[in-house]
């Protein structure tokens, strides 16, 4: 049991997103559409000491289980994250996120001239992951490469 166990209490049912890179918890909340208007109980811990990461963030959402596209989006900006499914206080499932090799519709292309951003027939954005840690993606249509802060911005939208 790690020291941070004492910082945020255990949950009965829901999802714990652990090992989020330091300071990224708010982007994770934004991916999940959590604004503060909803009913779910949400706990956030930021800058928690971690043996593996030095510092990390943690997000716990009670009674919510994430959709695959939400997990994929988290993987783009928090590649160290682990998803823990909690039922009756027990971790019943745990996995490390992994960006999909290619994906559609998770983020928009930042290139205004890209075919996914204009025209009468909308083309769904599509990207390939061309680098991991840090994640680097390339638009399948215009070839623009996005990583780092720019990727963070796109995921936040
Ligand atoms: N957790 C929780 N509520 C529970 C059970 C676990 O909030 N009822 C949280 C723990 O605080 C931890 C995460 O879920 O942040 C994973 O729990 P566990 O696997 O027990 O912790 P570790 O062994 O430290 O996990 P890891 O090896 O992934 O670091
Ligand atoms: Zn593009």
**DSSP string across 64-93:** ----HHHHHHHHHH-TT-EEEEEETTEEEE
Q: Which of 91, 92, 94, 96 for a ligand 1 pocket mutation test, highest count of atoms within 8 Å of Cβ? A: 91
Q: How far apart are CA 142 and CA 71, in angstroms?
A: 25
Instruction: Note the ligand closest to the C-alpha atom of 7.
Output: 1
Query: pLDDT by residue (tens digit) across 10-47?
Result: 999 999 999 999 999 999 999 999 998 988 999 999 99
Nearest alpha carbon, ligand 1 atom 14: 16
Rounded to the nearest angstrom, the distance between the alpha carbon of 91 and the centre of ligand 1 is 7
Q: Which atom of ligand 1 is the closest one to the Cα of 5?
A: 11
Torsions phi, psi for 154 (to 5 deg): -65, -40
- Band the pLDDT of 8: cuts 50, 70, 90: confident
Ligand 1 touching residue 117 (CB < 6 A): no
Cβ–Cβ under 8 Å, residues 152 and 134: no
Instruction: Note the ligand closest to the C-alpha atom of 61.
Output: 1
Cβ–Cβ under 8 Å, residues 105 and 155: no
Ligand 1 touching residue 82 (CB < 6 A): yes
Query: pLDDT by residue (tens digit) across 119-146?
Result: 788 799 999 999 998 999 999 999 999 9
pTM: 0.93
Query: pLDDT by residue (tens digit) across 67-117?
Result: 999 999 999 999 999 999 999 999 999 999 999 999 999 999 999 999 999
């Amino acid at each position: 049991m790690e020291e941070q166990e004492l910082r945020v209490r255990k949950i009965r049912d829901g999802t714990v997103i652990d090992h989020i890179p330091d300071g990224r918890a708010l982007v994770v909340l934004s991916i999940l559409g959590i604004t503060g208007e909803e009913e779910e109980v949400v706990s956030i811990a930021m800058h928690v000491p971690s043996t593996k990461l030095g510092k990390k963030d943690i997000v716990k959402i009670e009674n919510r289980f994430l959709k695959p596209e939400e997990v994929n989006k988290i993987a783009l900006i928090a590649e160290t994250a682990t998803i823990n499914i909690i039922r009756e206080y027990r971790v019943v499932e745990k996995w490390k996120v992994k960006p999909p090799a290619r994906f559609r519709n998770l983020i928009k292309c930042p290139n205004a001239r890209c075919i996914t951003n204009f025209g009468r027939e909308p083309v769904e954005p599509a990207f390939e992951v061309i680098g991991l840690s840090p994640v680097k993606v390339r638009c399948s249509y215009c070839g623009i490469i996005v990583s780092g802060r720019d990727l963070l911005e796109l995921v936040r939208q």
